[in-house]
Every structure is written in structure tokens, then in C-alpha cells.
Amino acid sequence: MDTTTVETKKFEILDTKLDSIWAEIFQKSKLIKEIQSGSIDIKMYAMYMFETYHYTLHNSRNQALTGVKCFDKPPHYLRYCFEHALEETGHELMALHDVKSLGLKDNSFSIPNPLPETEVLIGYLYHVSSTGNAVRRLGYSYWAENAYKYIMPLIEKIKGLYNLKDNQLTFFMAHSDIDDEHFKEVKEMIEKYCVTEQDWKDVEEVMETTLRLTANMLDGVYNEYQKLVSNKSNKYNFLFALDNN
Amino acid sequence: MDTTTVETKKFEILDTKLDSIWAEIFQKSKLIKEIQSGSIDIKMYAMYMFETYHYTLHNSRNQALTGVKCFDKPPHYLRYCFEHALEETGHELMALHDVKSLGLKDNSFSIPNPLPETEVLIGYLYHVSSTGNAVRRLGYSYWAENAYKYIMPLIEKIKGLYNLKDNQLTFFMAHSDIDDEHFKEVKEMIEKYCVTEQDWKDVEEVMETTLRLTANMLDGVYNEYQKLVSNKSNKYNFLFALDNN
Amino acid sequence: MDTTTVETKKFEILDTKLDSIWAEIFQKSKLIKEIQSGSIDIKMYAMYMFETYHYTLHNSRNQALTGVKCFDKPPHYLRYCFEHALEETGHELMALHDVKSLGLKDNSFSIPNPLPETEVLIGYLYHVSSTGNAVRRLGYSYWAENAYKYIMPLIEKIKGLYNLKDNQLTFFMAHSDIDDEHFKEVKEMIEKYCVTEQDWKDVEEVMETTLRLTANMLDGVYNEYQKLVSNKSNKYNFLFALDNN
Amino acid sequence: MDTTTVETKKFEILDTKLDSIWAEIFQKSKLIKEIQSGSIDIKMYAMYMFETYHYTLHNSRNQALTGVKCFDKPPHYLRYCFEHALEETGHELMALHDVKSLGLKDNSFSIPNPLPETEVLIGYLYHVSSTGNAVRRLGYSYWAENAYKYIMPLIEKIKGLYNLKDNQLTFFMAHSDIDDEHFKEVKEMIEKYCVTEQDWKDVEEVMETTLRLTANMLDGVYNEYQKLVSNKSNKYNFLFALDNN
């Protein structure tokens, strides 16, 4: 078996794992089911976009940090880290723009703190980016840059549901555009810098863990929404403004 | 209502929350049920002790880091952080001693990497300790120094089950001894440094999140054990040596 | 030659080096000469105490950080780091108390930013504490805990010059009291954890570098004072209040 | 006075300061005088290139870190940080290539540790990049991207002295090429993000401090060379191989 075939096999292992985790998420996530059934409240969607704002704010930073803390890989890998960080910088503002475009006035709210589930994801990504195997953060990019085939139908559903224009979905549109190119790069990096079995395992572990933590974040949004509508929390009360649109 | 009463109420809120999370954990955790039913395999217990080793290795460090990164509280709070760090330092070696005392020879294994669930807990604690509200790490200590009433019956069960002597349970014995004193200090710190509603909420959030992540770690151990005994992973194969004891 | 003798020799090498650096500092430092001649302006002394405030604020933090970042030494060394951090915590407030006792009213000033020379020392200590050989920060403690024989005559001079009471010199008094015990501990740590020639060299390098950076800080104070009295900077104008005392 | 004029004035203040610091360095630096007189030993030049390797290894990292730790500036500033980091990544390998091209065989040496003066510069830059005013690191870039007019004559001198080809001076050639463009960007960033007087002061302070620390590094090289040729240190003994070329 030549090298290419060996690595093709390894990517197939990642892809099979990924497929099964996504399947599990689609089966279990109540938030996703709300989208699929067309019954998702615009306030729940808005809450999800605020969490997207939060983790995205840190993604370019922890991506760059991976390069800052890496001393055992060639400059080529650092360049990838800094370039990828560069391309992700400021994308949180797209998420913020999109949620505001739903009908939130600038002075009617301040951005709520992230949910604990979101902070768990953020904290884990900083930990992964600053310690341990320097290539393992690629596991996060592997699914994140390759997620649109899974989530595009959900976005289309939301688009139709709230009658959104493209310029109200800038976060997702921007990412779907650059995705294919990024994903190719991520695969090249994995192929180049995953040398040992342990490297591949570390990438797989971070892939699985960050995807599951992201799914937990969806659950967190769903649960927080229940608190909002049952008056158990007033943190997102400003979102009731969206009901009048 | 005088100050003491107000704070008593706030602690009651924490305690009620804590009780309900523990109840949920006891109801859901398959690992705990294995202990309660007396059917827990010694290999599963050993795997749990390795994870205990891992997160404990970082606990004194992230506790000290809370003081290193805190610039908005009086020296008194930093002293608490450093003193508490001091007292926790090296406790991971007790966990390691205890698991080895089950019958693992020094050269028969190297300590396995932490499970992803454990790394998630570790990463979150570093994040909590180095960013955001400097008092919020107290939420972790609040339940951790107050856990023995919940887990002592489980430890007693394990002790009987494997016929362990006290000197094979040094980790738990040491902690139960120092616990009461520590818990008193943690409460004093919370009373002194939780000034705003947000402070109390931040402590509560970290309390809940770290306890839930610890429960996830138990689930991780349970799942990894299934991989071991179904030959899907050989990472812990060295533990089969314990079956002969 | 037995071990003790070998190590005695190594300490003698450190001490001889230290003596020669101190001699050089005493010969070159204009600030020290101002003290010795009894002509030092109280404003220059006050400026020095503000810099003392700044680096002391970070000393306990970088001492603790040494333990946080150290994964290749036994818990005993971490305990030393956290305990030493604990003892140094809050000492910056003594320096602040002492400078205020000269006659500065609480609302007449805000603490000026550190001089660049002080930030260089602070930055180097964080770097030493978070990277490289974990024992090397002991080189800083080696001279800092052993400095009073060199600087006590200067403090006595200042005391007489401005007619200060002991409770206006709390920073120096506190340190001279605890010094002997600390210095013994520092030597024990060096003896125990300097195993290779490189370990001793690393400690010596940090000893020399931090002492020289501290001397640079004295020069920085001297130069900044010249700017104050020649009206080239108004950063410390609030110190003119001391002239009326 | 319109805005442009105001900022032109401020840049003139920086430039005047810079000119005077460079003049002072050219007057005091023994290493520079050795170059100017044409008497610099190739071993001293090689030692300087090793230090260049060391600080350059960290420059892209601390530049990226500035973006990682900055939460109070628009994405535009982070993009600058990551892009500039990207462009500097791996330049340490040019310095290493150049010093090896003088006649060092790959297996005849391992890269010596940085001199303490170099570690002081590195430590200060990490400190500046991770704390305090996020724009202040621009002060380092301001002189570093604008240094070639000062140092090009020295490089030309060295080129002639050792009869070097362009491909033995890749580090300096690469930087002189990209310099003009970079310097323009640095000025744009300073203009855009230095809003208050304090911002400009912070940039000026870091400009002055890092240039002086770089000059200290030259002194460090000069002094270490004296140790080499007087047999007081054998750290760079492998450089005697260059005498045979």
C-alpha cells in the first residue's frame, strides 16, 4: 500500500467517525429538531448566534496561539497557523451583524456573557492550542471547515423560516465560500504533520471532542431558551423585541 | 434581613443547586451504579484513579494561577490561592500510589494520557483561573471541598469490595481529613469576595459546570472501560494484570 | 572531595560573583552615591520606592508561576514556589505605605506607571518563571534574599537623613527579618535541585542578570529624577509636596 | 493645525529620539566600532548572528501574541499582528543559514543558548506583547523596520571584509527588501491606533527600550567574545573552525 493510500485510509477513518458523530448529534439535538420542524423561535436562533459570536471571537486567537506556542514544527506549520488566524479574524462581527439584523437596536442590549457550555469549548480550545501535541488543533479545523454539508440544510431552513436575505446570513455565507479551500489546506497540514499513529489519534480526539462540545453548546442554548420563556432567567429578555418583527 | 442572613440564603441557593446536580449524577452515572451494586470491575476503578491523577496534577497549578492572574483583589485573596495551591500540591502522587497499590508493578506501564473528558475539565479550569472574574474558581472548590458526604459511601463500598486497607486509599483519606477546614475557608472567601449578584452567579456557574464536567469524566471512564473489555482499545491492557490479584 | 565540599565550592563561586557585581554597582550607581553622600533628595527616594512597589507587585506572582509551569520537578519544589509566593504576597503595599508615610496624601496622586527599566526586570522575571530551566529563578532569590548586608547601610543612611521611624520603613524591616530564614531555604533548594553543571550555570546567569537589571532600575530612577527637576517630565510633579515636609 | 500635521509632528518626535539613540549606540558600541574599523573577527560576527537567530525565533511569536491577547482594538489591528507575524515566521532560519555559510559544518555544533542580554530582550517583548497597551509593540516595529539606513553600511562593511556573497546575507537582504513596505504599514497602524497622548508615549517607550536592549545585546556579544578568546568560556569553541577558512 503506498503512502497516499495509507493516508486516504486514515482520512476515511476520520470521516466515518465524523459521520457517526454528526448523525448522533442530529438525532439527539433538540435545537436541531426545532429547526428541522420549522418551529424554532427566532429568539432561540438569536441566542445561538450570540454563542457563535463568543466562540468565534476566540477562534482566531487560539489558532494563532497554536503557532506562538509551537517550537517543534517547521516554520511552514506556524505560517499556516498565523494565516488561518488572519482569515478568521473579525468573523465574530459577522455573527453579531447577523443577529442584530433580525431587529435588535444597538442600544437595546449589551452582548450577554457566553453560556457555560460555550466557555467550556473556548477553554478547551485554548488548552489544546497552548499545550500538548501542536498538530492536534487541526482536528477542530477538520470538522469545522467541513461542516457545511451537514449544516447548510439547517441554514436554508432558517433562511426561509424568518425570510432572511443573504446579507443577514453573512457569517454562514462567508464561511461556506472559503470553506472548500480551507478544508483542502487542513488536509494538507494533517497529511504533512501527522507522522506517528499518536499524531492521528490526537487529531481524531480533538476533532471528536470539539464537535461534541459544540453540540453541548446547542443543548445549552436550548436549555437557556427554556429558562427565558418560562421566566426563570431574564438574561435574554431584550430578545422579546424580536417577537414584534 | 441582616448581612449574615442574606449570605446564608445565598449559600442555601448554592447548596440546593448542588444537591440537585449530585442527585442527577447519582441517577445517571453508570459508573456510580456499578459501584453501588458492588459489581464494579477493579480495572474500571483503576481507570478512574488515573483520571484522578491527571486532573489533580493540574489543580494546585490552576489554583495558584488564579492568584498570579488576579490584579483586582486584595493580597488576602492571593494568599488564599497560593496557600490552597500549596496544600493541594503533590496530591496526584497519592492517587498514583493508590492505583499502583492495587497490584501494578512500576515497570509494567506508563501513565496513560488523560481521557478527553478529563482534558476538557482541566482546560476549563485553566481558562476560569486565568480569565474573567477572579473569584469564580471558588465555585469549583465549593463543591470539591464539600463532596465527601456524597462520595464517602462510594469509597466505603469500594474499600469493602476490593478489601482495601486505609493506606491504599490515601488520596481520599487525606482529602476527607482536610476537607472540613478547607470548606470553611472557601465559604469565608466567597462571603468576603462575592460582593455583587454577578459574583455569586459566576461562582454558581463554575460550581455547576465543573461538577458536571467531573460527572462527564466518570462517563468517559465508563465508556473507555467498555472499549477495553471489548478489545476496541488496548490503551489500558496493562490493567488486566489486576485480574490475577 | 565529598558532595558537601563540592557544593560549598559552587556557592563560593556564586558569592564571589555576587560580591564583584555588587562592588561594581556601588562604584557606578549615581543613586547609591547620592545616598552615601547624604545628599539624596527625598523625591528621588520616593521615586525608587514606587519602582519597588511595581516589581514587588509581580514578585509573588512570578514566583508562583514558576511552580504553575514546572512539570519536571517533584512536588517539593512546587511547594517551595507556592510557599515563597505566599510569603511575598502583598509586600508591595508595604512599599506603598512607606512612600506615602513621607507625606503624600491619598488623593494627591495615582501610582505612576513603572519606568521602562522596571518593566524590563518584570518582563524578564516572568520569562524566566514560565520558560526554560525551572530552577533558574532561584538565582534571583539567591541575591534578593541575601541583599541586606549590602543595602542595610544605605537604608540606615536614609533613615537618618529623613528622620524616619521604623514604621516608615516597613518594607525593608519586614524583609530583613524574614531574610535569614528565606536565604537558608533558597540555598537548600539550589543544593537539592541543581544537579547538573548547566543547572548551576542557569542559576548563576539569572542571579547576575536580575541583579544587573535591578541596578539599571536604580539608574532609571536617577535619570527620571533629573527629568523631574529640570522640568522635562511632569509625571512625578506630585512629589514636590514632599519638599514642604 | 490639521490632523495630518499633528501626526507628522509626532512622528518627527519619534524620529528625532530614534536618531539620537542610534547616534549614542554608534558612539558607544565596541562591536560596531570593530565593524567600522574593519577589524571585527569573523567569530564575533558569527556570535552576533546566533543571537539574531534567537531573538528572531521569538519575534513572529510575540507579534502574533499581541493579537491573541488584544481584546480592545478592532479586528483590523489583530489582522495586522497576524499578518506581520506570518511574514516574519521562519526568518531565524535565514540567520542560521547565513552563519553556517561562513564555514560551520552541520554536525560540528549545536546552537548555543541565547546570551542573557538576548533573553532580556525576548522576555521584555513577550511582556509587552501580552500585557498593557496593545499598541505599544508597534514601537519595536517602528525602529526595527526602519533600521536599514543605520545598519546597511555595517552590513556592507562585513560583506567586503569576509568576501561574502549575497546568498550568505539572506537575513539582511530579505529584511531590507520588505522593509519599506512594512515600515509604511507600521506608520499607518500607529497613526490609526495611537489616539491618546499616552498611546504615543507607550509606543515611544517601547521603541526606546527595545532599541537599547538590542544595543545591550551587541555589548553582550562583544563581552562574550572576549571570554572566548581569553579562554574564559568554551561555549563558542566550535567557532574556531572559522579561522581556517
Helices (H) then strands (E): counts for chain C: 10, 0
Report the residue of D120, D206, D209 to disrupt the C interface, i.e. the one with the largest count of C CBs within 10 Å: D120
CB contact under 8 A, D78 and A90: yes
Residue C236 dihedral angles phi and psi, to the nearest 5°:
-110, 20
Mean pLDDT for the stretch of residues C138-164: 95
Residue C191 has pLDDT above 90, yes or no: yes
- Distance (Å, rounded) from C-alpha C200 to C-alpha C190? 8
Cβ separation of A68 and D61 shorter than 8 Å? yes
A206-237 per-position pLDDT tens digit: 999 999 999 999 999 999 999 999 999 999 99
With beta carbons less than 8 A apart as the criterion, state whether C122 and C97 touch: no
* Closest by Cβ to A86, choosing from D65, D74, D86: D86
Determine, for residues C127 and D127 on separate chains, whether the beta-carbon distance falls below 8 Å: yes
How far is it, in rounded angstroms, from Cα D51 to Cα D223? 13
Which chain C residues have a beta carbon less than 8 Å from that of B73? none
DSSP D196: S
pLDDT score for A1: 52
pLDDT (tens, 9 = 90+) of chain A, 245 residues, equals 566 688 899 999 999 999 999 999 999 999 999 999 999 999 999 999 999 999 999 999 999 999 999 999 999 999 999 999 999 999 999 999 999 999 999 888 999 999 999 999 999 999 999 999 999 999 999 999 999 889 999 999 999 999 999 999 999 987 777 678 889 999 999 999 999 999 999 999 999 999 999 999 999 999 999 999 999 999 999 999 999 76
Which pLDDT score is estimated for C175?
A: 77
* Per-residue confidence (pLDDT) for residue B230, from 0 to 100: 97
Predicted structure pTM score: 0.97
Q: Which chains touch C (3 or more CB pairs under 8 A)?
A: B, D
- Residue B7 confidence (pLDDT): 86
Which element (helix H / strand E) includes A52? helix A42-68
| Residues of chain D in Cβ contact (below 8 Å) with chain A | 60-62, 64-65, 67-68, 74-76, 78-79, 82-83, 85-86, 89-90, 93
Q: Which of B68, B78, B93 sits opposite C68 (nearest CB)?
A: B68
C-alpha cell at B245: 490479584
What percent of chain C has pLDDT above 70? 97
Q: Does residue C1 have a pLDDT over 70? A: no
Which pLDDT belongs to residue D46? 98
Percent of chain B scored above 70 by pLDDT?
A: 97
Report pLDDT for D223: 98
What's the count of helices (H) and strands (E) in chain A, helices before strands? Answer: 10, 0
Q: Dump pLDDT digits (tens) for D75-97.
A: 999 999 999 999 999 999 999 99
pLDDT at D2: 62
Residues 6+ positions from A32 with CB-CB distance below 8 Å: A25, A26, A154, A218
Considering only CB atoms, B65 lies closest to which of C68, C76, C89, namely C68
Other beta carbons less than 10 A from residue D158's beta carbon: 19
Confidence of residue C211 (pLDDT cuts 50, 70, 90): very high
pLDDT the model gives residue A218: 98
CA of B101 vs chain A CAs: smallest distance (Å): 29
Give per-residue pLDDT as tens, B100-152.
Answer: 999 999 888 999 999 999 999 999 999 999 999 999 999 999 999 999 889 99
User: What does the radius of gyration of chain D's CA atoms come to, in whole angstroms?
Assistant: 19
pLDDT band at residue C173 using 50, 70 and 90 as cut-offs: confident
List pLDDT tens digits, range B9-22: 999 999 999 999 99
Cβ C209–D116 below 8 Å, yes or no? Answer: yes
The confidence score (pLDDT) of residue A68 equals: 98
Sort residue B90 into left (φ over 0), alpha (ψ -120 to 50) or beta. Answer: left
Does C86 sit within 8 Å of B74, measured CB to CB? no
8 A C-beta contact, residue A237 and residue A228: yes
Spatial separation of the C-alpha atoms in residues B100 and B91, rounded to whole Å: 14
Closest CA to A128 of A49, A55, A210: A210
How confident is the model at residue B40, as a pLDDT?
97
C-alpha to C-alpha distance for D62 and D60, rounded to whole angstroms: 6
User: Residue C82: CA atoms inside 13 Å, Cβ hemisphere, count?
Assistant: 30
Check if the interface score ipTM surpasses 0.90.
yes
Q: Do C124 and D124 make contact, defined as CB atoms within 8 angstroms?
A: yes
Which residues of D fall within a CB distance of 8 Å from C209?
A: 116, 119-120
Query: In chain D, which residues have pLDDT < 70?
Result: 1-4, 178, 245
Cell of residue D6, nine digits: 499633528
Chain A residues contacting D via beta carbons under 8 Å: 60-62, 64-65, 67-68, 74-76, 78-79, 82-83, 85-86, 89-90, 93
pLDDT at residue C14 is higher than 80: yes
Q: If you average pLDDT over residues B201-205, what whole number do you get?
A: 98
